[in-house]
Chain A
Amino acid sequence: MAKADDPSRDLLLEMFRRMLYLRRFEERIEELHGQGRIIGGLFPYTGQEAVAVGTCLALRPGDIVVSPHRALGHLLAHGGNLEKTVAELMGRDTGFDHGKGGPMHILDPEEGFYGITGIAGSGVPIAGGIGLALSMQKSDKVVVCFFGDGAANTGAFHEGINMAALWQVPVVYVCENNGFAISVRAEQSTRAKDLADRAWGYGMPGEVVDGNDVMAVYQAVARAVDRAHQGQGPTLIEAKTYRVKGHDITEGRHLSPDRAYRTPQEIAEWQERCPIKRMRVYLVEHELLTPDGEEQMEHAIKGSLEEAVRFAADSPKPPKESALTGLFYGENRS
């Protein structure tokens, strides 16, 4: 476990609490999905919490996050409104997108969150463009762009990151190498051992980090954010982690044992390296966390989740006419 470079006790506890929040959120969402109370493409983030939390805690107010399909962990780690999140998953009018976007397209410009795409790799040039706008406006804000190991092999990644490096845009590209693109391993998709190495080919720095060590992620992203602030352009951070659950929330149900692409033992091994478990060990060793303290966190999280579920369940569905509105900004016709 990396030694923290003087992050405060509060920050360390917040790292832990936030990862726990992400984990409990997902458990609750899975329950709701099983009950048919939410539907659609939900992509579990279990096991990857340290990447979202370590990254987002290294950002400053006003910084922007761009996410792909597996976005909810990033959204909540970035402080996204929980009630609007659950409402959007339930397709309610009070959701972020008034029920028009769904979990892959949560768009919250006021808080700087863009669940921009369900297309692997497409976020890379778009995030670059946001960064370009920021630098043209002489803003000191920074963009974080999350994407996966699968996306790293797309044309959009190549074109986008090359252009980002060329124009020195203030973007931190965080590649979450969670081991799989649906069922295809990273090793089956490229001979490159470390995706971060690709950065050097584009004339920009790349760094591999233990994606299950929240403090290591935090420090790596903080360094990259700093570089962006100094006008030194983008960085590619490859956070090596593991997707404990399936590609999507229904995978367990439809993938029969004869179609399994990995063993239960492999999953169990990675669960031993759980980022929450590891951080708990660290905090307890350093006498920063007690069982009571953790219990309080759990209690508060549970309360927030129930409130959000209640809010969403009580919210109206979007009016039928809204299906044909909002196609062009400011125009209320189809």
Chain B
Amino acid sequence: MRQITYVQAINEALREEMRRDERVFYLGEGVGITGGSFGVTLGLMREFGESRVRETPISEAAIVGFAVGAALGGMRPVAEIGSHNWIYHAMDMICNHAAKLTYMSGGRLPMPVVVRSHGGETPGSGAQHAQFLAATFMHFPGLKVVTAATPYDIKGLTKTALRGEHPVLLLDHRQNYGVKGEVPEEEYTIPFGRAEVRRPGKDVTIVAISHCVHRALAAAQQLAQEGIEAEVVDPRTLVPLDTRTIIDSVSKTGRLVIVEPGWRSNGVGAEIAAMVAEECIDCLDAPIKRVAMKGVPVPFDVPLMESVAPNANDIAEAARSLLRR
């Protein structure tokens, strides 16, 4: 099967959905002729024109606000917010409007708004270009949250998002952008709420979010050499969350590590840990461990950055500690 990059997978998903449905259009900063900073929209403006691939000013609140309005008006917008860090400007539009309008209308208004954004630390990003905000949006009822780790997943999940009637946040991690993976030529979509067991194992469950999936797989390889078989579970969507797959895994292994690119405090791990403790306390043979970005803004210097970001060694050590008990 052919291998393409994560970015190419997004590009294909957008292209295919824009061909399939003329109501789909894309708006964001610098998304036109250059194809965006990473090439996500490469070639789209040439194919679909300036109306359907719209360059915007630096106006994140209006970018998402216009997307909300366009959805009300019968279009299917994809709003790009360059970085999770700039989403703060659009919080009112996402959380007070996109998330709530359907409910406030008594369930009558569809709200097909897709917001895509990349976040997470990369060398040299500095503190204001390094947040991974999945946990923030997981908190608000009315939003669906996607954190795909592989090209196959981001393509299928993006297509599902664009065909749905709901507000969806496609939250990428920048370090995923160069990841290559197998993606079939044939048409496919991936439903929300289905986790993927990336690597089966019997000794410890590692639930990994976004780019941490790759770090967790590296940790699992390390652990395998020590005779520890880790099961790596990738939720793929945080809302809706496939709690069943997570619970089944923890029932089998009795031990849980959750690793995410965002901060530990009130993170995705906090939610998943609470959920497992509520639903399956007797499954657990050890406390739950969370591995995450340390509680500081991301420092600029690369070794400093690496010291605060969760890596394969941290994950492996967390898993080991649960088995040493």
Contact = CB atoms under 8 A, between A and B. Distances in A.
Given A97-B106, A329-B165, A129 B73 contact: yes
Interface stretch (B62-70, B122-130, B264-272): B62-70
Given A97-B105, A162-B57, A125 B93 contact: yes
B107 A326 contact: yes
A126 B109 contact: no
Interface string B51-73: 11010110111101111111111
A122 B92 contact: yes
A109 B109 contact: yes
Contacts of B97: 116-117, 119, 122, 126
A217 to B, nearest CB: 24
A201 to B, nearest CB: 14
Contacts of B106: 95-101, 322, 326
B88 to A, nearest CB: 12
Interface string A73-101: 00000000000000000000001111111
A119 B77 CA distance: 22
B69 A129 contact: yes
B114 to A, nearest CB: 14
B75 A107 contact: no
A7 interface: no
A96 B106 CA distance: 8
A130 B57 contact: no
Interface in B67-112: 67-75, 77, 89, 92-93, 96-97, 101-111
B200 interface: no
Contacts of B105: 96-97, 100-101, 105, 107, 326
Nearest to A155: B61
Interface residues of B, number: 44
A70 to B, nearest CB: 17
Interface stretch (A33-41, A133-141, A239-247, A252-260): A133-141
Contact of B92 (A119, A163, A330, A332): A119
Contacts of B101: 105, 107, 116
B73 A125 contact: no
A114 B71 CA distance: 13
Contacts of B73: 129-134, 137
Given A126-B72, A156-B65, A163 B56 contact: yes
B237 to A, nearest CB: 13
B141 interface: yes
Nearest to B96: A119
Given A125-B66, A156-B65, A163-B66, A329 B59 contact: no
B102 A328 contact: yes
Nearest to B98: A126
A163 to B, nearest CB: 5
Nearest to A126: B69
B66 A105 contact: no
A162 B59 contact: yes
B100 to A, nearest CB: 8
Interface in A110-153: 114, 116-117, 119, 122, 124-134, 136-137
A122 B142 contact: no
B166 A129 contact: no
A131 B69 contact: yes
A160 interface: yes
A108 to B, nearest CB: 9
B61 A156 contact: yes
Most buried by A among B57, B74, B107, B109: B107
Given A125-B61, A327-B107, 4 more contacts: A107-B108, A131-B73, A132-B73, A325-B107
Which 5 A/B pairs are nearest by Cβ-Cβ distance? Answer: A129-B69, A326-B107, A133-B73, A125-B65, A98-B106
